[in-house]
Amino acid sequence: MIFSLLKRAKACVTEAACLTEAARNKALLSMAEHLVLHTQDILEANAKDMEKATHLSLVMKDRLALNAWRIEAMAEGIRQVASLSDPLGKVLDRRLHANGMKIQKITVPFGVVAVIFESRPNVSADTAALTVKSGNVCILRGGKDSLCSCEAIVLALREGLKKAGVPEDLVQLVKDPTHESAGVLMTAKEYVDLLIPRGGKGLIKACVENATVPCIETGTGICHIYVDSTADFDKALAIIKNAKTSRPSVCNAAEVCLVSQDIAPAFLPLLRKALVDDRLAEGQKPVELRLCPLSLAYTEGKAAGEEDFDTEFLDYILAVKIVKDVKDALTHISLHSTHHSDAIITEAEENARLFIASVDSAAVYVNASTRFTDGGEFGNGAEIGISTQKLHARGPMGIGELTTYKYVIEGTGQIR
Amino acid sequence: MIFSLLKRAKACVTEAACLTEAARNKALLSMAEHLVLHTQDILEANAKDMEKATHLSLVMKDRLALNAWRIEAMAEGIRQVASLSDPLGKVLDRRLHANGMKIQKITVPFGVVAVIFESRPNVSADTAALTVKSGNVCILRGGKDSLCSCEAIVLALREGLKKAGVPEDLVQLVKDPTHESAGVLMTAKEYVDLLIPRGGKGLIKACVENATVPCIETGTGICHIYVDSTADFDKALAIIKNAKTSRPSVCNAAEVCLVSQDIAPAFLPLLRKALVDDRLAEGQKPVELRLCPLSLAYTEGKAAGEEDFDTEFLDYILAVKIVKDVKDALTHISLHSTHHSDAIITEAEENARLFIASVDSAAVYVNASTRFTDGGEFGNGAEIGISTQKLHARGPMGIGELTTYKYVIEGTGQIR
C-alpha cells in the first residue's frame, strides 16, 4: 500500500515544483481554513487516540491532546508559513560563459520529502505547510498513538488543497505506522528525495543508520555552557537559569555546565542558589545538580556518573563539571557535544575567539542562552527540525533548507 | 591501524580549520613543489604498480601510468587550487536580533573528509589539494592497483605540508585498501564528517548503501539528448557528436538520444552519417548505434535491448529512441535519467521552458552539449566529483561544496 502512495507522490512532483508562489500561498490559506472548519472532526478523532493512550505518561498525553485552541494555533502556523518569502526560483549564481552560454544556478524543491515523527499530531500540519510552501510533496508517517488525530488533520488539509485547485496528493499520510512502513521510506530511493526524522534519539538513530535515501540527522542536543574564569557571574547565572529551566524538554536546553577551576569555589554556591534554593523559595521545581567529584567540594548535589555527561536529560537536571581552563572545556565539548548548541560565558575576547573557532556545533554562543537556536529567533521562520549534521543544512531547517538547486544552461548550439 | 589514522586526522581538525588563507596557500605551493622534487621516487613506485598490473585492460593501464609530464600536471593542478579564492569565513547571513545579539552564518570546513577512489593515482593529489584549500583534513583510500604510486605521492605531499609548517596529518593514506578499511570509513561516525566515493557504479552503490556517515553520491551519468520536432538539425548533430565522441569515458558524455517522431525520418539518416559514415571516412572510430524498433525503420544499426536505455556505456555507443513529443521524452527521462545532465535541442521556447522545469537533474541544457557539466566550465574551479544527489550539493563539487557553515551568536548576556 505504501508503494501506491509513494507512486502518487512522485507523480505530482513536477506539478508541485511548477506551482506559482500565488498558487502555493492560496493552497496554504485554504489548508488553514479547512483545518479550522474540521475542528470538531479532529477533536473527535483525537478523543479516540486519547482513549487508547492509557500507556502514556502525563507529559506524552499532553503532547497528544488537542483542543480548539491548539487547532487554531496550527492553522495560524500555516498562515504564517504562507506569509514567508518564496524560497523557490532564487538565482544563486549566474554567469555568462565565454562561448555565450548562460549558466544559472537556481533553487528548486527536493521533490518527495518523507517525515517520520512520533506522538505530536501538530507535526503533520507544520510539516505539510513547510513542504507545500517550498514546492515539495510530503509523505507523513506519524506514530500509532496519534494516528486517528493525524488522519483527521490530513483529511482536512487535503480538502483544503483540493478546494484551492492543487493536487491533494501533495500531502499524504502513511496509514500503517509500522516498522515496515518506516523501513520502506528509509530505502525507497526511487521515490524519496529527502527523509527527515522528527522525534527521540532512537528514531533518529534508526533513520541515520538504516536510510539509503538522503537523510538529515536532527535534534539531539547535549548543549554545554562553559563559565570561563573571566565570566561576569550575573550574566552566567541568568543564562544558565534560562537555558536550563525556561523549557527543559526542548533540544536547545542546556544539559551540562562546565566551570573554570579558577572561579569554581565562588561560582558553584551561587549556581546552586540560583537553580535550587531560589527556585524552591519561589515554589518552582528545583534543578537537580549532578556534580563531578571536584565540584562536590564546593557545593551540595548528587555525585555525577560518567553517563551524566552524555545524557540529554530533557528535564530539571544539570550535570556540572570543573575544568582547568577554556582549552580543557573545548576538549570536553569535542568529546561529548552532539554538535547542536554550545556557549561560553566570558569577558575575555581571546577566549571567545578560541571557543568560536574550535567548537564544531551548529550554533556557537558567546554570552547568550543556547535557547535561541530556533528558526524564528534566527529570522528564518518556522522550522522542520534542527540539523545536527554538517551535510546540506546545519541548525534550524526552514523552507530554505527544503530546497536544493539545479544548473540551467541555455545555449545556441555550443559544444566543448 | 585505520583507527589510529582516523584519530590523528580528528586531532588536527581544529588546527586545519584555523589556518589562515595564506598558510593554506603556502602549504599547497609547498605540496606542489615537493611532488615535483620527488618525481623520480613517484615514477619508481608507479613502475612497481605497472609491473603488477598484468590483469588490467589497456585503458585501465593508461589511467594508472604516470610520467614526468603527468606529475607536473598534478603539481600545476595543486597550484591552480592555491590560486582560487578562499571558501572559508564567508558570512552567508548576518542579522542583529531585536535584543542586540549579533547572529552570523559563516562558512567553515567539514572536518575529516574521506575519499574512496579507484585506480587513478592523480586523484590523491587532486583531493589533497581541494581539502587543504578548504581547511579540511583528508583520508585517502585508493585501490590496491595504485597503492605504491599513491604512497609515493602522499609521502611527497606530506613532506610539502611539513616544510610549510602545517601538520602532515592533514593528508593521510589508508595503506590497506581492503573491503574492511572501506567499511570502517563508511561507518566511523565519530571520525568521518563527509565521505565521497570517486569511481565506478559498484563503488558508489556500496558507499551509498552502507554508509552511516554523511555521504555524497557522485558520478554515474546516463545523459540524454532530446531532439525536438523544432530542432535545428545542424545544432543537434554538432551537439550530439560532441557529447558522444569528444570524450566517451566521462560521466557527462551522452548515452541516449531521444528523437521526436515528427523529424525522425529526416534526422536519423543524418545522425548515422555524422556518427558513423563521416567518422569512418575520417579514419575515426565510428559510434555504434543501438536503435529502438521504430528507428530501425529509418536507419541502420543494432537493435537496442531494454537494458541499453539504462546503461552508462562510457564508450562509442549511443542508444537511440523515437518518442512522440517533448512530454513523452520527459517521461522517458524521468524513468531512466541518473539526474546528472540532460539536454533538449529545440527552437521552441515553450518546449525549452517545459524541459527546464520538468527535468530533475543537476544540469539541464537547452541547445548546448552535456559535456559542459564540469567545475571549470561552470566557473567554480577544480572539482572533487559531480554530485547526482540533491542533498547539500548538486553537479560539480569544488572547494565551496567542501564547506559547511555554523551560526555564531555573540551577545552580552541575552536570555530568551
Q: To the nearest whole number, what is the mean pLDDT of chain A?
A: 95
What percentage of chain A reaches a pLDDT higher than 70? 100
pLDDT at B333 over 90: yes
pLDDT at B118 over 90: no
Determine whether the interchain pair A95/B378 forms a contact, defined as Cβ–Cβ distance below 8 Å.
yes
The span from the CA of B247 to the CA of B226, in Å, is 20
Beta-bridged to residue A333, according to DSSP, are none
User: Considering only CA atoms, which of B415, B407, B416, B404 is closest in space to residue B136?
Assistant: B404
Task: Please tell me the distance in Å from A409's CA to the nearest CA on chain B.
Answer: 5
Mean predicted confidence (pLDDT) in B340-345: 98
CB nearest to A411's CB, from B194, B365, B408: B365
Within 8 A of B408 by CB-CB distance, chain A residues are: 356, 363-364, 366
User: Considering only CA atoms, which of B72, B175, B84 is closest in space to residue B135?
Assistant: B84
The span from the CA of B144 to the CA of B182, in Å, is 12
HEC readout, B85-134 = CCCCCCEEEEEECCCCCEEEEEEEECCEEEEEECCCCHHHHHHHHHHHHC
User: Considering only CA atoms, which of B9, B18, B46 is closest in space to residue B173?
Assistant: B9
DSSP H helical ranges for A213-277: 233-245, 264-272
Q: Which of A86-100, A164-178, A209-223, B121-135 has the lowest mean pLDDT?
A: A209-223
Determine whether the interchain pair B415/A242 forms a contact, defined as Cβ–Cβ distance below 8 Å.
yes
User: Considering only CA atoms, which of B322, B386, B365 is closest in space to residue A415?
Assistant: B365
For residues B113 and B385, the answer to whether their CB atoms sit within 8 Å is no
pLDDT of residue A165: 97
DSSP B228: -
Confidence tier at B18 by pLDDT (50, 70, 90): very high
pLDDT of residue B208: 87
Mean predicted confidence (pLDDT) in A182-208: 92
pLDDT of residue B362: 97
Q: Does B263 touch chain A (CB under 8 A)?
A: no
How many distinct helices (H) and strands (E) make up chain A?
15, 16
DSSP A148: H
Q: Does B415 touch chain A (CB under 8 A)?
A: yes
Mean predicted confidence (pLDDT) in A229-239: 98
pLDDT of residue B380: 83
Confidence tier at A99 by pLDDT (50, 70, 90): very high
**Nearest residue in B to A393, CA atom:** B392
pLDDT at A398 over 90: yes
pLDDT of residue A381: 85
pLDDT at B219 over 80: no
Instruction: Enter the C-alpha cell of residue A111.
Output: 521533490
- The CA-based angle B18-B22-B24, given to 5 degrees, is 60
Q: Does B416 touch chain A (CB under 8 A)?
A: yes
Greater pLDDT, A201 or B42: B42
What distances in angstroms separate CA A206 from CA A210, A362, B396, one per listed residue? 6, 22, 31
What residues does each domain of chain A span?
2-217+389-410, 223-372
pLDDT of residue A91: 97
pLDDT of residue A1: 81
Q: Which residue has the cell 548543549?
A: A223
Tell me the backbone φ, ψ of residue A102, rounded to 5 degrees. -100, 120
The span from the CA of A262 to the CA of A391, in Å, is 38
Q: A224: part of which helix (H) or strand (E)?
A: strand A223-227
pLDDT at B201 over 90: no
Mean predicted confidence (pLDDT) in A173-200: 93
pLDDT of residue B151: 98
Q: To the nearest whole number, what is the mean pLDDT of chain B?
A: 95
| Cβ neighbours for B346, distance < 8 A, ≥ 6 positions apart | B228, B230, B231, B326, B352, B355, B366, B367
Confidence tier at B120 by pLDDT (50, 70, 90): confident
Confidence tier at A59 by pLDDT (50, 70, 90): confident
Q: Does A375 touch chain B (CB under 8 A)?
A: no
DSSP A105: E
pLDDT of residue B220: 86
* HSE of B223, CA atoms in CB hemisphere, 13 A: 33
**pLDDT tens-place string over residues B140-193:** 999 999 999 999 999 999 999 999 999 999 999 999 999 999 999 999 999 999
CB nearest to A209's CB, from B110, B212, B395: B212
Tell me the backbone φ, ψ of residue B59, rounded to 5 degrees. -60, -45
Determine whether the interchain pair B365/A193 forms a contact, defined as Cβ–Cβ distance below 8 Å.
no
The span from the CA of A36 to the CA of A5, in Å, is 26
Within 8 A of B104 by CB-CB distance, chain A residues are: none
Q: Which residue has the cell 555552557?
A: A225
What percentage of chain B reaches a pLDDT higher than 90? 90
Q: What is the ipTM of this complex?
A: 0.94
pLDDT at B43 over 80: yes
pLDDT at B293 over 90: yes
Determine whether the interchain pair B366/A235 forms a contact, defined as Cβ–Cβ distance below 8 Å.
no
| Cβ neighbours for B54, distance < 8 A, ≥ 6 positions apart | none
Confidence tier at A63 by pLDDT (50, 70, 90): confident
Q: Which of A57-61, B227-231, B339-343, B384-388 has the lowest mean pLDDT?
A: A57-61
What distances in angstroms separate CA A311 from CA A250, A320, A388, B122, one per listed residue? 13, 12, 16, 45
pLDDT of residue A258: 98
CB nearest to B392's CB, from A391, A395, A410: A391
Instruction: Enter the C-alpha cell of residue B187.
Output: 561507518
**pLDDT tens-place string over residues A252-271:** 999 999 999 999 999 999 99
Mean predicted confidence (pLDDT) in B306-310: 97
Within 8 A of B378 by CB-CB distance, chain A residues are: 95, 103, 407
pLDDT of residue B304: 98
Determine whether the interchain pair B414/A378 forms a contact, defined as Cβ–Cβ distance below 8 Å.
no
Mean predicted confidence (pLDDT) in A378-386: 89
For residues B407 and B107, the answer to whether their CB atoms sit within 8 Å is no
pLDDT at B98 over 80: yes
Q: Does B234 touch chain A (CB under 8 A)?
A: yes
Instruction: Enter the C-alpha cell of residue B16.
Output: 586545519
The span from the CA of B124 to the CA of B114, in Å, is 11
For residues B104 and B91, the answer to whether their CB atoms sit within 8 Å is yes
What is the dihedral sign for C-alpha B351, B356, B358, B359?
A: positive
Interface of B with A in 8-47 (CB under 8 A): 13-14, 17-18
The span from the CA of A187 to the CA of A189, in Å, is 6
| SS3 call for B44 | helix
Confidence tier at A208 by pLDDT (50, 70, 90): confident
pLDDT of residue B60: 83
- Dihedral of the CA atoms A359, A360, A366, A368 (nearest 10)? -130
Query: Spelled out in words, what is the top-level CATH class assigned to the domain A223-372?
Result: alpha beta
β-strand pairing of A171-173 with B194-198: unpaired
Beta-bridged to residue B108, according to DSSP, are B404
DSSP H helical ranges for A109-215: 122-133, 147-163, 179-187, 201-210
Q: Does B283 touch chain A (CB under 8 A)?
A: no
Within 8 A of A97 by CB-CB distance, chain B residues are: 372, 377, 379
Region label for A241, one of left (φ > 0), alpha (ψ between -120 and 50) or beta (otherwise): alpha
Determine whether the interchain pair B238/A208 forms a contact, defined as Cβ–Cβ distance below 8 Å.
no
Domain B2-217+389-410 has CATH 3.40.605.10: yes
pLDDT of residue A319: 98
- Maximum separation of any 2 CA atoms in chain B, in Å: 79
Confidence tier at A201 by pLDDT (50, 70, 90): confident
**pLDDT tens-place string over residues B55-80:** 988 878 888 999 999 999 999 999 99
pLDDT at B26 over 80: yes
